Structure formats: C-alpha cells, structure tokens
Structure 1
Amino acid sequence: MRIIGGRLRGLRLNPPKNLPVRPTTDLAKEALFNILLNQIEFEGITVLDLFSGTGNIAMEFASRGAEKVTGIDRSIHCVHYLKDASRQHGLTEIEVFKADVFKYLDVETEQYDLIFADPPYDLSNIPQIAKIVFDKNLLKPDGMLIIEHQSMQNLSNHPAFVEQRKYGHSSFSFFKA
C-alpha cells in the first residue's frame, strides 16, 4: 500500500497485519484519483472518510492538499494507526475519531466537499449511507459522495447517483449534491 500522489507520493504504508480491514487496492485507488483529478481541485477541500480503516484514502487526500480530512472508524486499532501515521508524516490536516459510522452520521452537521465511504462489503445497510448523507445535507453544493462496494451491488436507485466504476470485485459509486 502506498501514497500515489501529492507531497508524500511513493510513501509505503505498512499497517499492522491484525487490523480488521480490507484496504482499497493501489490499482483501484489510482483509478479513483485519476477520475477525481479531472473533476475536483484537491487543494483546500474538506473530506470525510467513513470506515477509514488504515487511513489509506485519508492520507492520500491529505498528501494532495486537502485542508481537512476527518476519518471515522469503529476499530480503536485503526484509529491509533491512522493517528500515529498522520503524526509521523506531518499530516496535521487529518483528524480521526473512534465511532460507529451510522451513529456518527446521525449527529454530524458539518458539510464536506467530498465524503468517501469504504464499508465492509458484507454490511447490509450500505445503501443507507447515501440516503443519510443526502437527507442530512452533509455535502456542500457540488459536493461528491463516493461509496466503495462489491461490484455485484447496485446503488443506482438513489436520485443523486451519477455513475458506477468497476475495478474487478470492487466498484466505486459516485453521487453528486
């Protein structure tokens, strides 16, 4: 796992093997950021990284100039790893909180330029993420929600759905405010 762009480009991340995660592959992450490169300006954006796990995505956004990246994960081990890695590499724009994502979204009121969610693939309520984000108006105007999920899952029935991009068994579904 590595940072593929920005000021930390090429940095290898070596999270502990015992973290309860399924990190986004470098190939899928590179494809995702190539798509985003043509759609958003990374410099100065605010990002909410749900189910942040190793912090791979949070660190990528911070490396590319995001002003603020908030990571949410329910695993204390993931939270500690991301806090330690952020501190070690000078990524002061990353804040990490231990919380259940759905409980966090219930009380969140801040708006973000981009929200990225990479839930466990076996989670039954993945479609609820888009519903909650849009019902609570958590995206700034022209903001974007991206949900990583199994390719066989279809999230296109939400009115804000824009497109799905498949990368093997993983897909990214894009939603726009």
Structure 2
Amino acid sequence: MVREAWRVPRIVAGWAGSLQLAVPPDGTRPTSDRTREALFSMLEARDAIAGAAVLDLYAGSGAFGLEALSRGAASVVLVEKAPKAARVIRENVGRLRRAADGPLDAAVVQQAVRTFLATAAPGVGLAFLDPPYDLADEDVAADLVVLAPLLEPDALVLVERSSRSPAPVLPPTLVLERTRTYGDTAVHVLTTA
C-alpha cells in the first residue's frame, strides 16, 4: 500500500526538520504535521521545550517526543505498549540519531503507560498523552493521577483526544488552561496548579 505523502509524518522544525518518520502499520492515528506545528509553536512561545525532560505517552510513531528533541528538549522517554509501534519508534529514534551532530538522550519503553508511570522518576517538564480515542475517559484520568506527582512545578501536559470527548477529569494538582480544536482532534493544555 502506498501512503499519501501528506499522511507520512515528519519532524516539522529544529535541527532534524523535514526528517520523515515511519508509522506503525495499524493501531495508531498519527497527528498531522499541521497540528503538531501549531502545538509546538505554542510551546516554543512559552519556552516550554528547551532543556525539558519530556515524556511521550502512548507514543505511536514517537513524533511528539522526537519533535521535542529536534527543537531542543534535553531528553525524551517514549512509552508505547504495542510491540509493532515500539519497534517503529526504535526505528525513528535510530533515524534521529543518524541525523544528530551529537549524543541523543532518547529512550523507548515498551510498557503500559500507567505501569511505567508508577515507577518513573520525577522531574518531567513536558508530557504528551496521545492515547487511542477509544481509551475510556476514566483511564485517561487515572493516567493523569499517576503522572501529576512526576511533574516539575511549571510543567505542561498536552492531552490529545477526539473533539467529541469531554475534557479530561483532572487531579487537584493539574489545571485545564485551554483546549484547542483541530478538526476531529482536541488538545487539552494542562498546567500544574
């Protein structure tokens, strides 16, 4: 099957700009380059990327976390339970490593998100949650409860859901700052309280 060029995700900007990424054969829905560009423009305007420790949860192809590295994040951990998707993320990290001028602090963890978060180290400055749209709202809320204690005081969390889904239920330490809608996608921008 030939993928249409607009469906093949790429790194939008930064030192790895235009690098094409592989996508898992099934089970994921890559976020469009246009949506990622809008989100990363917002994050750069807030100086939320440079030097940040980043978590990319339900990583799919790893596009969010790898985009953050290209734009100056210090490190990224890409968490994906599905074996095929985790294999693709490792391939994409390899592509980025080959394009890098120096070492690249990127780790791929093949594990369920909540299991990973239960033992993860604190100090996260930026987190992306892009779960499957059919993941129950209660599961997303439970992920946020376990994620919250790992966040730095000025951290940002971006949660991508269907635009038909309600805003996520938040633990007391997170606040919904705004929701941005891009077609069928809603991105909820959360900050620490």
TM-score by length of 2: 0.83
Letter in 1 for 2:131: P
User: Is the aligned partner of 1:171 residue 2:186?
Assistant: yes
CA distance in 1, matches of 2:20, 2:91: 15
Deviates more, 1:23-32 or 1:157-166: 157-166
Letter in 2 for 1:127: A
User: Is the aligned partner of 1:111 residue 2:123?
Assistant: yes
Deviations 1:48-76 (A, max 9, x none): 00000111111101111111100000012
Q: Runs of 5+ in structure 2 lacking a partner?
A: 1-8
User: Is the aligned partner of 1:61 residue 2:75?
Assistant: no
CA distance in 2, matches of 1:88, 1:64: 16
Q: What is residue 96 of structure 1 aligned with on the other side?
A: 108
Identity across aligned pairs (percent)?
28
Q: Runs of 5+ in structure 1 lacking a partner?
A: none
TM-score by length of 1: 0.90
The answer to whether the Cα contact below 8 Å between 2:75 and 2:105 also exists between their aligned partners in 1 is: yes
Once the 2 structures are TM-superposed, how far is the Cα of residue 120 of structure 1 from its aligned partner?
0.3
CA distance in 2, matches of 1:162, 1:70: 24
Over 3 Å counting, the alpha-carbon distance change for 1:157 and 1:54 in structure 2 is closer
Deviations 1:106-152 (A, max 9, x none): 22232200111000001012232323222xx1110101111000112
Once the 2 structures are TM-superposed, how far is the Cα of residue 93 of structure 1 from its aligned partner?
1.7
Q: What is residue 87 of structure 2 aligned with on the other side?
A: 80
Deviates more, 1:123-132 or 1:91-100: 123-132
Once the 2 structures are TM-superposed, how far is the Cα of residue 8 of structure 1 from its aligned partner?
0.9
CA distance in 2, matches of 1:103, 1:86: 22
Equivalent positions of 1:1-177 (< 5 A) are 1-16=9-24, 18-90=25-97, 92-124=104-136, 125-134=139-148, 137-155=149-167, 157-158=169-170, 159=172, 160-177=175-192
The answer to whether the Cα contact below 8 Å between 1:156 and 1:163 also exists between their aligned partners in 2 is: no
The answer to whether the Cα contact below 8 Å between 2:130 and 2:161 also exists between their aligned partners in 1 is: yes
The answer to whether the Cα contact below 8 Å between 2:61 and 2:89 also exists between their aligned partners in 1 is: yes
CA distance in 2, matches of 1:15, 1:97: 17
User: Over aligned residues, Cα RMSD in angstroms?
Assistant: 1.6
